Amino acid sequence: MSARASVLFDAPGPRARLRNNILTLLGVVGIAAILYVVYARFDEKGQWEGRIWEPFLNPYTWTEHILPGLLNTLKAAGLGAVCALIFGAVFGLARLSDHRWVRIPAGAVVETFRAIPLLLLIFFLFFLAPDVFGPGDYTLVALVAGLTLYNGSVLAEVVRAGVRAVPRGQSEAAYAIGLRKGGVMRLVLLPQAVTAMMPAIVSQLVVLLKDTALGYIIAYPDLLNIGFQIIPATNFGSRIPAAIVIGIIYIGLNMALSGLATWLEGWSRRNRKTSARPVVPPGGAMETSGMAAGA
């Protein structure tokens, strides 16, 4: 590890360490000043008064509003994650097909849904569903379908990149011992590709979890909708306390998922050997520092 570090960068000398310490101190002072200004402005507006925060000390607020909203968020995220993984696996492998009649349509589907903004996709599905299926509540269906199509298209690219990340010699050796294409994919390429794809897959699932907040725009009763509509109605009309509490819950969810991702990626690499490099999600970097460090 020390040899690796010496190759990547030179160890800072006394002057460089002093300069870094000064910059760090100035950064901390600047952040503290900004936090103080925010606190003072909130205090001027009475946002720290106890009466505004009382609803969050009442168990009724949690059992009747926050927890149901959290469960709805997790339900949409869970359904969207499962469907997006299936969609991504099917279309990712289809894009690797040797048959043009499979590869080209699959590529067109993936590129189309990657190019459409997710919010627009959710809106379109929400207003299209009643015309196709008749009157009803399609908020969950529209949200899950939008999450599936958009994130599934990104995951399809992750799957394709993960399989291609396995060195060609692995498949050539498998063909040399008599395996057919299906056996090569199932027994040689996919087991190694899954390990390489794991950081990118979980990173995209974190994005999917955050994207469930877009259900707010079609009145899906998720954590964000309840936090910004229902709770402020009984909280003297102030959204600031609700925003802080809901934001903390979202941060906790994403940190928990990121921690799970770090552990899962480490476990998969310890228990499964692979020569493929980790895959980076299309259009972005890793969400979790642990996974980036593992890479």
Burial of 295 per CB tally in 10 Å (0-12, 13-18, 19+): middle
Query: Any idea which residue has 């900004």 for tokens?
Result: 34
**DSSP characters for 177-227?**
TT--HHHIIIIIIHHHHHHHHHHHHHHHHHHHHHHGGGGGGGT--SHHHII
- Decide if 197 contacts 162 (C-beta within 8 A): yes
Q: Which two tokens stand for residue 29?
A: 């002072």
Handedness of CA 262, 268, 273, 279 (dihedral sign): negative
Q: Element (H or E) spanning 79, and its range?
A: helix 67-94
Taking the C-alpha atoms of residue 41 and residue 29, their distance in angstroms, rounded to an integer, is: 18
pLDDT in tens, 131-180: 888 888 889 999 999 999 999 999 999 888 887 777 676 666 766 776 67
SS3 119: helix
Task: pLDDT tens for the chain, 295 residues: list them.
Answer: 444 444 455 677 888 888 889 999 999 999 999 999 988 888 887 777 777 777 777 788 788 888 888 999 999 999 999 999 999 999 988 888 888 888 899 999 999 999 899 999 998 999 888 888 888 888 999 999 999 999 999 999 988 888 777 767 666 676 677 667 666 676 667 777 777 788 788 888 888 988 998 888 888 888 888 877 777 666 555 677 888 888 898 888 888 887 877 777 677 666 655 555 556 666 654 444 343 333 3
Contact 226, 236 (CB under 8 A): no
Radius of gyration, alpha carbons of the chain: 24
Whole-model pTM: value is 0.74
User: Interior CA angle at 13 toward 7 and 15, to 5°?
Assistant: 145
